[in-house]
Amino acid sequence: MKIATYNVNGINGRLPVLLRWLNETAPDVVCLQELKAPQEKFPEKAIQDAGYNAIWHGQKSWNGVAILARNAQPAEVQRELPGDPEDLQSRYLEATINGISVGCLYLPNGNPAPGPKFDYKLRWFERFTAHAASLLASDKPVVLAGDYNVMPTEIDVYKPERWVNDALFRQEVRLAFKTLVDQGWTDAIRKLYPDEIIYTFWDYFRNAYERNAGLRIDHFLLSPHLSSRLIAAGVDRNVRGWEKSSDHGPVWIELSD
DNA sequence: ATGCCGTGGAAACCACGA
């Protein structure tokens, strides 16, 4: 079973790229972030014609998350992150697919830091960590996939010294990620490639992709059940080089049946 | 050190992203 996550940076502007990638790589489950489309503007028919059932939580202009499944219907569990009724941003969607709980997340960027946006990021991270703990306690197979907007360690940044005060790399955020993982999650890419430089994002500026000036901010966290089933993982970095690409590349894992 | 590019939405600029 192949599960992927892809921050599309606008699903309608990205539709040709998304459909080509789905057709070429045929993941079984896909978590999408940054739809940047209201609920009624999700391209449901094109996704269905590509062979995928979908649930999504859209939002006008920003945010928005979706879960796609091939040969299965995602059973929605919740469409927002618990813990703050006043948080209206569409950043979390959870579904059960073939017995696996799939959490699709778009963690806040948090810049500029310090400031209210950074405070919101840290609060969101705390709520997410609490929810992740409850998922672990359920003892079900769980995957938490998405754009975490965190580079966990220095090898996840092309020039770490330039990012120390950035909301994606500040100590508070790296510590929050470590606290989350230490609950008992496995960072899928790092389990298979503990020391390799692997990026999932390249800025649109300054030929970042061509220079491989990237960041690793899109992650898969696996519960113990799924960690033992992990057989492969990677980044479809070539997609980042396609015409009209997102600034993120798709990331994927393969689980044994 | 930096939003230089890209997207969406409103309105020919602005907010936002990482």
Nucleotide nearest to A11 (CA to C1'): B7
- Summarize pLDDT for A74-90 with one digit per residue, the tens: 999 999 999 999 999 99
Helix (H, G, I), strand (E, B) or coil at A144: strand
What per-residue confidence (pLDDT) applies to A10? 97
Residue A44 sits at the vertex; the CA angle it makes with A147 and A72, to the nearest 5 degrees, is 75
Q: Is the CB of A9 under 7 A from strand B?
A: yes
pLDDT for the residue A42 = 97
Overall pTM > 0.75: yes
What is the pLDDT at residue A78? 96
Q: Are A55 and A66 in contact (CB under 8 A)?
A: yes
A14 touches strand B (CB under 7 A): yes
Residue A75: phi, psi to the nearest 5?
-95, 110
Those residues with Cβ within 8 angstroms of residue A116's Cβ, 6 or more apart along the chain or in another chain: none
**Distance of A133 CA from B10 C1′ (whole Å):** 42
When pLDDT is averaged across residues A50-63 and rounded to a whole number, the result is 97
Which string of b and e fits A116-133 if b means at least 16 CB within 10 Å?
eebebbbebbebbeebbe
Identify the band that residue A203 occupies on the pLDDT scale cut at 50, 70 and 90.
very high
Strand B closer than 7 Å to the CB of A240?
no
Query: How many structural domains does chain A have?
Result: 1
Which residue segment(s) compose the domain that A121 sits in? 2-255
Q: Is the CB of A4 under 7 A from strand B?
A: no
> Which pLDDT does position A188 carry in this prediction?
98
* pLDDT tens digits, one per residue of A215-232: 999 999 999 999 999 999
DSSP E strands in chain A: the ranges are 2-7, 29-33, 52-57, 65-70, 75-78, 92-97, 100-106, 142-147, 186-187, 201-202, 214-215, 218-222, 230-235, 251-255
Q: Which residue is nearest to nucleotide B6 (CA to C1')?
A: A204
For residue A79, what pLDDT is reported? 97
pLDDT of residue A214: 97
Whether residue A233 contacts residue A256, with contact meaning beta carbons closer than 8 Å, is answered with no
The token pair that represents A248 in the structure block: 């993120």
Separation of A111 CA and B9 C1' (Å): 22
Identify which of A71, A29, A64 has the alpha carbon closest to the alpha carbon of residue A43. A64
What pLDDT, on the 0 to 100 scale, is given for residue A166?
96
Q: Which of residues 43-102 of A touch strand B (CB under 7 A)?
A: 60-62
Specify the CATH number for the domain of residue A247.
3.60.10.10
Predicted confidence at residue A180, as pLDDT, reads: 98
Q: What is the structure's pLDDT at A76?
A: 98
> How many residues in total does chain A contain?
257
